[in-house]
């Protein structure tokens, strides 16, 4: 039985006071949610403000990125151990915006996941094809390389600390969600790939979230599909009522 995960990616929004206000409004709206893991990912500088508010609640804290070294002369970077020290249990790795604007590759994603594992963080590994790749019928090739290369050298046991988020790039922030069928097809492919790379039990256990314009209105349809185990939510996670509407689907 896979516990669903609903994660809010706040991206580059919400300074400390606003982040604290958002999570304070969210807490009572999701406090009775059972059988679902709730995660929020504020910007680094708002982590401590959110951490103070979620103490003793059912909300977990995530960072949006990390570096792969533990320390050293790497100005501007943040190590997984530091993220853990800041109170996070999770870290988003390889979001398409990072791949698109900050040059992240499957290789850097792989290094980051390994470093996150060492620090005891759960990684939310983001994968997904662009519109051009989908139209060129390259979706499954792209997903195959993102999963195979992203998880290279990671054992089946370590996979327990990894959640995959399938986020078709053309659906992110566009209001254009993948249809339930399109999402299910990709999720089934990803799970099949994990079975091929590892084994069936590992594939059955891994959580695969869908991301891309998830809203309270479309979450139910997506979640009714057998291989969709939750959502990574951007825009709709920035308001307490809409994020709560997704959590309480």
Please check whether residue 183 is in contact with residue 233, taking contact to mean a CB–CB distance below 8 angstroms: no
10 Å CB burial of residue 202 (0-12, 13-18, 19+) is middle
Q: Which is nearer to ligand PGA, 228 or 232 (CB)?
A: 232
Q: Of 104, 129, 167, 187, which residue is the catalytic one? A: 167
Q: Which is nearer to ligand PGA, 69 or 180 (CB)?
A: 180
Q: Which is nearer to ligand PGA, 7 or 203 (CB)?
A: 7
DSSP state of 44: G
Per CB under 6 A, residues contacting ligand PGA are 9, 167, 172-173, 211-214, 232-236
95 is catalytic: yes
Q: Which is nearer to ligand PGA, 52 or 217 (CB)?
A: 217
Q: How far is CA 81 from CA 67, 91, 116, 119, 168, in A?
A: 10, 11, 8, 5, 30
- Closest Cα partner for 119 from 69, 84, 171, 152? 84
Question: How many helices (H) and strands (E) in the chain?
Answer: 11, 8
Smallest gap from Cβ 75 to ligand PGA, in A, equals: 27
**Residue whose Cβ sits closest to ligand PGA:** 234
Which H or E run includes 208? strand 208-211
Residues composing the chain: 249
Cβ neighbors of 182 (< 8 A, separation 6 or more) are 168
167 is catalytic: yes
Smallest gap from Cβ 238 to ligand PGA, in A, equals: 9
Q: Of 95, 97, 104, 129, which residue is the catalytic one? A: 95
Smallest gap from Cβ 90 to ligand PGA, in A, equals: 13
Smallest gap from Cβ 120 to ligand PGA, in A, equals: 23
Enzyme catalytic residues: 95, 167
């Amino acid at each position: 039985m896979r516990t669903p995960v609903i994660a809010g990616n706040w991206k580059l929004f919400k300074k400390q006071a606003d982040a604290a206000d958002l999570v304070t409004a969210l807490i009572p709206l999701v406090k009775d949610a059972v059988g679902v893991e709730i995660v929020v990912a504020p910007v680094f500088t708002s982590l401590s403000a959110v951490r103070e508010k979620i103490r003793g609640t059912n909300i977990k804290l995530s960072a949006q990125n990390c570096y792969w070294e533990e320390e050293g002369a790497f100005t501007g970077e943040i190590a997984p151990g530091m993220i853990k020290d800041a109170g996070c249990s999770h870290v988003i790795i390889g979001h398409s915006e990072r791949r698109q604007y900050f040059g992240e590759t499957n290789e850097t994603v792989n290094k980051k996941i390994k470093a996150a594992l060492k620090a005891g963080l759960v990684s939310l590994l983001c994968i997904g094809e662009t519109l051009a790749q989908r139209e060129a019928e390259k979706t499954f090739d792209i997903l195959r390389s993102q999963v195979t290369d992203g998880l290279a050298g990671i054992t089946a046991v370590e996979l327990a600390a990894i959640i995959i988020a399938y986020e078709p790039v053309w659906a992110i922030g566009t209001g254009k969600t993948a249809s339930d069928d399109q999402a299910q097809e990709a999720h089934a492919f990803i799970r099949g790939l994990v079975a091929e790379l590892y084994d069936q039990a590992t594939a059955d256990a891994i959580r695969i979230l869908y991301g891309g314009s998830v809203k309270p209105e479309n979450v139910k349809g997506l979640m009714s599909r057998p291989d969709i185990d939750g959502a990574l939510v951007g825009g709709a996670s920035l308001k307490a009522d809409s994020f709560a509407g997704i959590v309480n689907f």
